[in-house]
């Protein structure tokens, strides 16, 4: 693990650190493993570290990791609060999709029935819909 650069940002009470990590004969390490390794290397608490980017080099067993190291947990929560709140909002969308599909199916069925009723009632004949004829 090699530090490429370290930039102090006093207004945000954090440091931006770029590291080059070697991971021979293995894939890119997970963010949790990187976080613990970086905390040991920088001698800080894992709670104060936020991994911003992990860039893996193609064909090499090296990755560039950009990390924000905060001075205290209060600043971390204040600055990164917005990004953490966005994730849970995605779950309800998956539940709504089946109801939308059902409503689309109901609309297509009513359209087919209304077309069949218009033609069949005029001539006094009953017309079959595509679904009934296929069964």
Burial readout 30-56 (b: 16 or more C-beta within 10 A, e: otherwise): eeeebbebbbeebeeeeebbbeeebeb
Residue 112 — very low, low, confident or very high, per pLDDT cuts 50/70/90?
A: low
Tokens of 30: 């997970």
The verdict on residue 116 lying in a domain is no
The verdict on residue 6 lying in a domain is yes
d(CA 50, CA 97): 34
CATH assignment at residue 84: 3.30.70.330
Tokens of 135: 């069964």
Question: Which domain range does residue 71 map to?
Answer: 2-90
pLDDT tens digits for range 56-109: 988 888 999 999 999 988 888 888 865 555 555 555 555 555 555 555 555 556
pLDDT tens digits for range 22-59: 988 888 889 999 999 999 999 999 899 999 999 998 88
The verdict on residue 13 lying in a domain is yes
The verdict on residue 118 lying in a domain is no
d(CA 82, CA 121): 60
The verdict on residue 98 lying in a domain is no
Per-residue model confidence (pLDDT) at position 80? 80
Coil, helix or strand at residue 20:
strand
The verdict on residue 102 lying in a domain is no
Coil, helix or strand at residue 53:
strand
d(CA 35, CA 27): 16
Look at the chain and report how many structural domains it folds into: 1
């Amino acid at each position: 693990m090699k530090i490429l650069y370290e930039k102090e940002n006093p207004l945000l009470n954090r440091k931006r650190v770029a590291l080059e990590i070697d991971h021979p004969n293995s894939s890119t390490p997970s963010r949790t493993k990187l976080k613990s390794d970086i905390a040991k290397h920088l001698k800080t608490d894992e709670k104060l570290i936020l991994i911003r980017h992990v860039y893996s080099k193609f064909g090499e067993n090296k990755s560039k990791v950009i990390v924000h190291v905060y001075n205290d947990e209060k600043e971390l929560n204040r600055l990164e609060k917005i990004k953490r709140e966005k994730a849970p909002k995605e779950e309800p969308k998956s539940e709504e999709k089946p109801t939308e599909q059902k409503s689309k199916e109901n609309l297509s069925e009513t359209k087919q029935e209304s077309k069949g009723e218009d033609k069949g009632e005029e001539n006094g004949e009953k017309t079959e819909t595509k679904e009934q004829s296929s069964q």
